[in-house]
């Protein structure tokens, strides 16, 4: 049976509502869908569970791990396999790619995470939020231009 995006959306929405109703899970305000924040909280939750400590995380992550990163990874993997686009892509040297990813994650943590939170900070008049939004836009444009340039070579 082929799972359509509509079916997946309905299933995901049902599971989210069920989790909120029966497991009392509520997302924190202005948390957004952020790989940086959710990844950080997932790692902190796993480490805290393994060594028995209580680390500072978002309220929703204190009792149950945020599996957003896992869900995005599995969903994109499923989409690639079912659409026939599951093939290796050569790009940067693995060490360069790792260092670039690490830099993006660290900078994401420094500016407090996702674009949603940056926009909310900007809306409240925070200069750092406005600088973050402008930097994000410049970074997206620069990365797009580099990717297009490399695709033409």
Output the pLDDT for position 32.
Answer: 60
Specify burial of residue 50 (Cβ count, 10 A radius: 0-12, 13-18, 19+). Answer: exposed
Output the pLDDT for position 28.
Answer: 57
Token pair belonging to 32: 């957004």
Output the pLDDT for position 140.
Answer: 84
pLDDT per residue over 108-127, tens digit each?
Answer: 777 666 777 777 778 888 88
The b/e string for 4-20 (b: 16+ C-beta within 10 A; e otherwise) is eeeeeeeeeeeeeeeee
Number of C-beta neighbours around residue 43 at 10 A: 14
pLDDT per residue over 25-44, tens digit each?
Answer: 666 555 666 777 778 888 88
Closest CA to 35 of 70, 76, 78, 85: 70
Output the pLDDT for position 25.
Answer: 66
Output the pLDDT for position 107.
Answer: 77
**Does the pTM of the predicted model rise above 0.75?**
no
Number of C-beta neighbours around residue 28 at 10 A: 13
Residues in the chain, pLDDT under 70: 25-33, 60, 90, 111-113
Contact 133, 118 (CB under 8 A): yes
């Amino acid at each position: 049976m082929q799972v359509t995006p509509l079916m997946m959306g309905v299933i995901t929405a049902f599971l989210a509502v069920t989790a909120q109703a029966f497991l009392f899970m509520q997302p924190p305000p202005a948390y957004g869908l952020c790989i940086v924040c959710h990844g950080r909280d997932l790692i902190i939750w796993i480490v805290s569970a393994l060594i028995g400590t209580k680390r500072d995380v978002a309220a929703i992550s204190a009792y149950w791990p945020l599996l957003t990163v896992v869900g995005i990874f599995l969903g994109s993997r499923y989409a690639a396999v079912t659409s026939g686009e599951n093939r290796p892509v050569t790009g940067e040297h693995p060490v360069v790619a790792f260092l670039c990813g690490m830099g993006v994650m660290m900078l994401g943590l420094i500016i407090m995470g996702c674009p949603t939170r940056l926009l909310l900070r900007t809306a409240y008049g925070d200069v750092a939020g406005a600088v973050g939004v402008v930097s994000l836009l410049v970074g997206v444009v620069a990365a797009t231009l580099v990717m297009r340039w490399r695709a033409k070579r």
